[in-house]
Structure 1
Amino acid sequence: MRISTISLAAVSAAVALAASACAAPDAGTAGAGDPKATTAAQTVDQAAASKLPADIKQAGVVKVASGVSFPPMEYFASDNKTVLGFDADLGKALGEVLGVEFEFSNTNFDGIIAGLTAHRFDLGLTSMIDKKERQASVDFVDYLSSGVTFLVLKGNPKGLKTQDDLCGRSVAVEKGSTGDLVADDLTAACQKAGKPALKKAPFPDQASAIQALQSDRADAVLALDLTLAYNVKQDPEKFEVPAKPFGTLPVGIPVPKDDPQLRDAVQAALKVLEENGTYQQLLSKWNLADQSLTGAPLNTGQ
């Protein structure tokens, strides 16, 4: 029995499953932006900066949690220290608008929300999907939309073409990520259809999940389309994405629920970047124009 997109939607309201609604970045261009290219420095926007909490204004630093192994969103340069990617560029620009520095710290993805609620970090810039269950702990300033799909080895030796082909297969995911959550939804759909569950293999970061696929410890990697398309672009002879995205999901900047001032400051700064064209320039630089989400809405995830 084939698992229908309707049955999957029933177990995951966040995944709309309209494959045509969100196309992955073109595998021929995704992530091809020059990491050395720069945008003009921003002028401090006093209206946005005035919304910052007093302690952050005084410190001059916003402590950012990020799982830095998720290109083209965030990844280390060859020095293994400098953070590159769309989120890194966006954080720099947001900081300039607010008159503070966004200081990135590499953190395991599954510990980011706990770090935010414990106030070890001020916010996250880490390609986190805005989901209703996460909104109990954090507020999201949404800034992109993305779909979920899977990566396989070149030539697709296991013949995996749709999400229902993953039933009974070993699927690598970054622990706590959207791929991890969607793997559980797919398992429920598989079992409902009388098929075996996914053999979910969680790893501490996305790079480790990719390595598991390369070393034949997993049949596929389940993740956001924007990062998987980047993997194909970087190694077109090693990888391919055989399936269209399962649906469209909002990507947000998580801010602790008890810090509405910082949330509102970030939202205001993001709107400034949209209005002056910087947001669109960064999308173009990192080949993410199809993932554009304007208006900086709050908590749109389901």
Structure 2
Amino acid sequence: MRLPRTILAGTAALTLLSAAACGGGGGDAQRPAGATALYDALPDSIKETGVIRFAGDSHPPYRIVANDGKTVTGIDKELQDALGKVLGVRTEISIVNGLPAALSGMLASRYDAFNGPVKDSAEREKQFDAIVWMVTRTSYLIPKAGSAAIKSSGDLCGKRVAGTAGSIVEDQAKRLTEWCTKHGKPGIDFMGLADTNGTILAAKSGRADAAGMTESAALDVLGKEKDAFTYVTQTDEQGAGVDQLAMLVPKSSGLGPVMLDAFKKIFENGEYKKIMDKYGLQNVAVPEPKMNTAATP
């Protein structure tokens, strides 16, 4: 017996719907053409949105924020674009008000990562995976128009130093204060501010005698305002050492190991070196990325 056309058509439609539900329309349908094992290893939440959300404060030359408060250029943008390319997803940066906002935002799942550069510490590794991709030393911008006679980092004892609150610079200032007191000098009066731009303005306005920041950031400012500042760099004797700087990713997200592999890829394909060379950061580059170095015995 032959079935009516309407029944045949209905049966065919149901067959197509079943095929879509069972195999054709699952996660594989969303997989980008040419996706690699790195993409497959990403957390499902990122594969669903196709984007990794970075938090970032204003911190030239890492994050140079345009007047619209949204457009970002600089090292971070180029580094994140390179990472996104090997991962097969887009990246975006949301500007936040300093390190505490970035950390709390990641723990609240508003952001997936924060590129810092922020110091890798055992305390931070309790909640975050830290992918180390550079090192640094702390430098201090000194306004040429200022009255404070600062010729070396030792002359900062007893002076007002502005720096980003909760940053590596604050840690470095504490070590420098210990050095000052050990040598019978008054400690540093540290002013914790929201971002690097704020520290520069504090020094320019006379509210601070110096602005502390990473050496790469100090060199960037000097390149733009060479007639306005000089700078001094903290020494090993004063507790500077060479700090490991990292991108932070919440441990709970599972993104950390994948991001480490993405960093390894951009080291291998030359993108890392290209970016570091472009911004004159050869002296703070590392031979390979590592994760959670502070917890390593």
Q: How far apart are the structure 2 equivalents of 1:157 and 1:242?
A: 16
- 2:259 aligns with one of 266, 272, 275: 266
Q: Identity of aligned pairs, percent?
A: 31
Deviation digits for residues 28-67 of structure 1, max 9, x if unmatched?
xxxxxxxxxxxxxxx9661222221111111111111111
What residue in structure 1 maps to residue 141 of structure 2? 151
In the alignment, does 2:80 pair up with 1:86?
Answer: no
One-letter amino acid matched to 1:263: G
1:290 aligns with 2:246: no
Given the alignment of the two structures, is residue 256 of structure 1 paired with residue 250 of structure 2, yes or no? yes
Q: Which amino acid aligns with 2:180?
A: C
Q: Looking at both structures, which has the greater relative contact order when contacts are Cα pairs under 8 Å and sequence separation is at least 6? A: 1
Match runs of 1:208-247 below 5 Å: 208-243=198-233, 246-247=240-241
The residue type equivalent to 2:262 in the other structure is A
1:168 aligns with 2:158: yes
Gaps of 5+ in 2: 1-32
SS at match of 1:255: strand
Partner of 1:258, secondary structure, is helix
Counterpart-to-counterpart distance in 2, 1:139 and 1:44? 28
User: Which structure dedicates a bigger proportion of its chain to helix?
Assistant: 2
Mapped partners of 1:300, 1:229: distance in 2: 27
Distance 1:300 1:161 in 2: 34
Off by >4 Å, runs of 4+ in structure 1: none
TM-score after normalising by structure 1? 0.79
Structure 1 gap ranges (5+): 1-42
Query: Structure 1 residue 134 and structure 2 residue 124: aligned?
Result: yes
**8 Å Cα contact 1:148-1:247 kept in structure 2:** no
Range with greater deviation from structure 2 (149-158 or 103-112): 149-158
1:281 CA drift (Å): 0.8
1:129–1:251 contact (8 Å) kept in structure 2: yes
Q: Distance in 2 between matches of 1:93 and 1:44?
A: 16
Report the 3-state secondary structure (helix = DSSP H, G, I; strand = E; otherwise coil) of the residue aligned with 1:295.
strand
Residue 133 to residue 192, structure 1, CA distance change in 2 (3 Å) = farther
Q: How many angstroms does 1:147 deviate by?
A: 0.9
Shift in Å, 1:188: 3.1
TM-score computed with the length of structure 2 as normaliser: 0.81
Kindly state the Cα deviation for residue 210 of structure 1 after the two structures are TM-superposed.
Answer: 0.3
Q: Which structure 2 residues correspond to residues 53-202 of structure 1 after superposition, within 5 A?
A: 53-67=43-57, 69-77=58-66, 79-107=68-96, 108-154=98-144, 157-202=147-192
The structure in which a higher percent of residues are strand is 2
CA RMSD of aligned residues (A): 2.0
Are residues 112 and 73 of structure 1, via their aligned partners in 2, closer, same or farther at CA, if it must alter by over 3 Å?
same
Q: Within 2, Cα distance between the matches of 1:297 and 1:83?
A: 26
